[in-house]
Amino acid sequence: MTKIVELSDQPTFTIKDVSSQTGIRPVTLRAWERRHEVLNPHRAENHYRLYSERDIAILRWLKNRIDNGFSISNAISELRSLTSNNIWPEAIASAPTRQASLPNNTPPDHYAKELFRALVSHDEERAGDLLREVHALFDLYTVFLDVFVPTLREIGEAWYRGEIRVTTEHFASAYLRGKLLSLLQAYPVRRNAANILIGGAPMEQHELGSLMIAVLLRSEGFRVEYLGPDIPLEDLVDYASYESPAMIVLSASLEDSAEGLRGLQASLQKLGKNAPLFGYGGRAFDLHPELIKKVPGNYLGNTLKLAVTNIRNLLQARVKATA
Amino acid sequence: MTKIVELSDQPTFTIKDVSSQTGIRPVTLRAWERRHEVLNPHRAENHYRLYSERDIAILRWLKNRIDNGFSISNAISELRSLTSNNIWPEAIASAPTRQASLPNNTPPDHYAKELFRALVSHDEERAGDLLREVHALFDLYTVFLDVFVPTLREIGEAWYRGEIRVTTEHFASAYLRGKLLSLLQAYPVRRNAANILIGGAPMEQHELGSLMIAVLLRSEGFRVEYLGPDIPLEDLVDYASYESPAMIVLSASLEDSAEGLRGLQASLQKLGKNAPLFGYGGRAFDLHPELIKKVPGNYLGNTLKLAVTNIRNLLQARVKATA
DNA sequence: TTTTTCTTATACATACCTTATTCATTCTAC
DNA sequence: GTAGAATGAATAAGGTATGTATAAGAAAAA
């Protein structure tokens, strides 16, 4: 985790920007620079100072030390001893990262790592660049299986180990949710293909898994309605009786949510010949495999690829059965 | 990404037209052109300048930046870096200063009704067509205030009256969430503007309101981090102590979530001079106005427009106070 | 023809950034 | 306690940035 984070050296901020962001007066900034040789802002052609994000991160850290009662010279020598050992104070390490873009033959693994770093430092711009690159290089399955999923797993684990804040986890999740939803909406809706309803089990809040399934299915030409997380089952059955979808897919990451799915298959069977297939999956079933026996219906497997293959096969079988 | 609107390159406007549309004096326009090589208006045979709609959009964007306190050279270099990243025409086209309802005089509430019907019948395609049209006709405020908000209210009420299914409400909400998140991510992130953290109070699940605020603020050039719903406050305060945002905005639709905000202002004040402003709003405060007295901090009002205005004013006052 | 409004080029005032020097406090070491 | 360093801030003098004003010529309108 405490690997040295590279910060942008792109000089973009004027002294006024820096002052308003750090609360340090311009005169003081210049005095520090002159007297302590701290920072070395780039200069524009007109000799104006241009600060990088890294500079600002350092200044914020210094300001923080001063507000805690240390003198500027103390703070600076502390900073020096820290940086010479390659240990960066958290405020600096968590500043946005930006690296030269990697060569085009980088395996998806590296993108997962880079994406993780970008998200952990709340750097949307970098994350966007990475995703654009990833989409240009790989197909959707690779993007999801080898970039998104590992990134999400790493974020989850880092959160569990207490290395990143809940707020950061929230930020990353909101960001990827947005990307997946716009991806979903970018695919055209097939009106006369098999209709699949996708959502999260009751009480379920994590929707990234079901969203990825939805995007993959839609990209393969299925007609997909994405219903979001926390679907009430009774209402869903009622909706299914009117809409007659070919299949309902729900995901659960919590044990309780998964338990809640036990009665669904039976309720759906009551709809008779038009009863939709019911498929389920999610982290809850990876962690507690005994749940698979308890929940009637089609367990879709523990990877996205498996899930999509299973859904495809189940639907084909259903078409044959009704024909 | 989705193309929102096409801007004509036909040179049809005289410098006087441009001036009256943008509020920039002709002398100034010529000075910018001479000194910064920005824009390159076509010339008539008589050497008079002829501006295209696209030119005007760019100028309006520049004006907006200047009104937000940036210098012209800063604004132009920002513009350059944006265009080279090709996130460009969309961001400009939906700039907040666009004139409302130009050619077509269909009122926004007609679109609200149509959007409601499309969503209730789970018709994504129709909804997408409507949104594209709405974005081409109206500015963001109108789209949100007069189309999105009434649609959402109508969906909520229809659900309350039992006229639509929860599943339908979920579908509509997921759809609009996706649109809003893509919109948010379509705007470039300003790295040197006041940083605002936006999210939902603890236990809060409804995120459409805070998302709209986030989009509006980002469209006005603020640096916005959207953190999603259900933010843990303790962790947020910790994050704020490192990141020093200028403001934190949380929304609550449930009474309990709103109650949970009572202690935040005090926790934030402990961060000392760098303490961010705290603003809040949401349905909970419309329904239970007495909560406003109970929750210390800045109540932002009961409409989106009010909230954004209040946030802008609070931030301006803050800048003055620190300067 | 006269008047208006565009064109370019130059000029000017204000605000802000630059360096260098100075000043008034506060801290630190003897 | 006192001398001297450290520190934030003020000031002067020069340069840049920026909006605007003015002059002189050309085209369009009255």
Burial label for B5, CB within 10 Å (0-12, 13-18, 19+), is: middle
B93: pLDDT strictly greater than 80: no
| B32 CA – C12 C1', rounded, Å | 17
Cβ–Cβ under 8 Å, residues B224 and B217: yes
**Angle at the Cα of B217 (from A133 to B107), degrees rounded to 5?**
105
pLDDT band at B208 (very low <50, low <70, confident <90, very high): very high
Q: What pLDDT score does A7 carry?
A: 38
What does the radius of gyration of chain A's CA atoms come to, in whole angstroms? 26
**Angle at the Cα of B321 (from A31 to B65), degrees rounded to 5?**
85
Tell me, rounded to whole angstroms, the distance of Cα B122 from its chain centroid: 26
B141: pLDDT strictly greater than 80: yes
Alpha helix (H) residue ranges in B105-254 = 108-120, 124-137, 140-142, 149-160, 166-186, 208-219, 233-243
pLDDT band at B103 (very low <50, low <70, confident <90, very high): very low
Q: Which of A280, A203, A204 is nearest to A249 (CA)?
A: A280
Across A9-18, B104-113, B210-219, the highest mean pLDDT is recorded for B210-219
Q: What pLDDT score does A32 carry?
A: 94
The values of phi and psi at residue A223, to 5°, are -90, 115
Q: What pLDDT score does B99 carry?
A: 42
Report CB contact under 8 Å: A125, B189: yes
The pLDDT tens digits for A60-71 are 888 888 887 888
Work out the minimum CA distance from B241 to partner chain A, whole angstroms: 9
Of the residues A42, A61, A64, A227, the best mutation for testing chain B's interface (the one with the most B CB atoms within 10 Å of its CB) is A227
The pLDDT tens digits for B32-54 are 999 998 887 888 888 899 988 87
Least confident segment among A52-61, A285-294, A308-317: A52-61
* Partner B contacted by A177 (CB < 8 A): yes
What is chain B's mean pLDDT, rounded?
85
| B163 CA – D7 C1', rounded, Å | 70
Q: What pLDDT score does B87 carry?
A: 41
Question: What does each C-alpha distance from A124 to A19, A121, A178, B212, B318 come to in angstroms?
Answer: 24, 9, 12, 18, 26
> Which nucleotide is nearest to A15 if distance is taken from CA to C1'?
C17
pLDDT band at B94 (very low <50, low <70, confident <90, very high): very low
Is any atom of strand D within 7 angstroms of residue A63's beta carbon? Answer: no
B/e letters for A128-145, b = 16+ CB within 10 Å, e = fewer, are bbbbebbeebbebeebbb
Is any atom of strand D within 7 angstroms of residue A27's beta carbon? Answer: yes
What value does the mean pLDDT take over residues B237-261? 92
Tell me, rounded to whole angstroms, the distance of Cα A319 from its chain centroid: 36
Percent of chain B residues past pLDDT 90, beyond the cut: 51
Cβ–Cβ under 8 Å, residues A184 and A208: no
Question: What does each C-alpha distance from B94 to A139, B102, B113, B142, B215 come to in angstroms?
Answer: 31, 14, 22, 12, 11
What value does the mean pLDDT take over residues A287-291? 93
Q: What pLDDT score does B44 carry?
A: 85
Tell me, rounded to whole angstroms, the distance of Cα B109 from its chain centroid: 20
Question: What does each C-alpha distance from B78 to A118, A126, B170, B245, B261 come to in angstroms?
Answer: 22, 17, 39, 22, 37
Give residues 259 to 318 of A whose Cβ lies within 8 Å of B.
none
- The DSSP annotation for A68-110 comes to TT--HHHHHHHHHHHHHTT---HHHHTS-B--PPPPTT--HHH
What value does the mean pLDDT take over residues A173-186? 93
Q: CA nearest B81 in A: which residue? A: A12
B215 vs B137, residue with greater confidence: B215
A6 vs A295, residue with greater confidence: A295
**Angle at the Cα of B134 (from B128 to B139), degrees rounded to 5?**
135
**Angle at the Cα of A223 (from A218 to A227), degrees rounded to 5?**
85
B89: pLDDT strictly greater than 60: no
The pLDDT tens digits for A71-129 are 899 888 888 876 665 455 554 544 444 333 334 445 788 889 999 999 998 999 889 88
B/e letters for B192-230, b = 16+ CB within 10 Å, e = fewer, are bbbbbbbbbbbebebbbbbbbbbbbbbbbbbbbbbbbbb
- The DSSP annotation for A134-179 comes to HHHHS-HHHIIIIIIHHHHHHHHHHHHTTSS-HHHHHHHHHHHHHH
Least confident segment among A268-282, A284-298, B70-84, B134-148: B70-84
What value does the mean pLDDT take over residues A228-256? 94
Least confident segment among A40-44, B83-87, B291-295: B83-87
In chain B, residues with a C-beta closer than 8 Å to the C-beta of A13 are 192
* Partner B contacted by A233 (CB < 8 A): no
Is B195 in a helix, a strand, or coil? strand
pLDDT band at B84 (very low <50, low <70, confident <90, very high): low
Q: What pLDDT score does A89 carry?
A: 55
* Partner B contacted by A10 (CB < 8 A): no
A252 vs B9, residue with greater confidence: A252
B95: pLDDT strictly greater than 50: no
The pLDDT tens digits for A249-276 are 999 999 999 999 999 999 999 998 889 9
CA distance A144 to A111: 11
Nucleotides on strand D with an atom closer than 7 A to protein CB?
6-11, 16-22, 27-28
Partners of B250 in beta bridges? B199, B280
Question: What does each C-alpha distance from B160 to B118, B153, B168, B175 come to in angstroms?
Answer: 19, 10, 12, 20
| A31 CA – D4 C1', rounded, Å | 20
Q: Which of A20, A16, A10, A7 is nearest to A42 (CA)?
A: A10
What value does the mean pLDDT take over residues A37-42? 82
In chain B, residues with a C-beta closer than 8 Å to the C-beta of A14 are 74
- Kindly report whether the global pTM for this prediction surpasses the value 0.85: no
What value does the mean pLDDT take over residues A22-26? 89
Report CB contact under 8 Å: A227, B175: no
Partners of A13 in beta bridges? A51
Work out the minimum CA distance from B292 to partner chain A, whole angstroms: 25
